[in-house]
Amino acid sequence: MTDATDTPNTYVVEYTDGPLVGQTDKRIFVGGEYDKTFGVIALVDGIEANFEYHAISTRELNGETHVSYSFDAAHSDSPVADEEDQEPGEALV
């Protein structure tokens, strides 16, 4: 029998860009692997939206897996994704 501390069942998510840039989360390995892609529902400026992220790299740090994820604007909710291209003061259509 293996001890639960022998194999960590979580990994650290690092958001490299998009609305969640600079934030980190912990996620659970599924079938011993990290998620290649996933959606995150979050509030940005009081608007709830789904943000899609894709894994771009992994590294080990102090015995823990860290996975970097990049924002996928094309597959995220468009009103918030479009804000990045919006000029200050311009209304979203």
Query: How do residues 35-91 score in pLDDT, each as one tens digit?
Result: 999 999 988 788 899 999 999 999 999 999 999 999 999 999 865 545 555 454 444
Burial of 33 (0-12, 13-18, 19+ CB in 10 A): exposed
Supply the range of the domain harboring residue 33. 10-75
Structural domain total, the chain: 1
Does any domain span residue 70? yes
Q: What is the pTM of this model?
A: 0.74
**Could you please report the per-residue DSSP string of 43-74?**
EETTEEEEEEEEEEEEEEETTEEEEEEEE-GG
Give Cα 6 distance to the centre of its chain.
26
Does any domain span residue 87? no
> What element of type H or E holds 1?
none
Does any domain span residue 17? yes
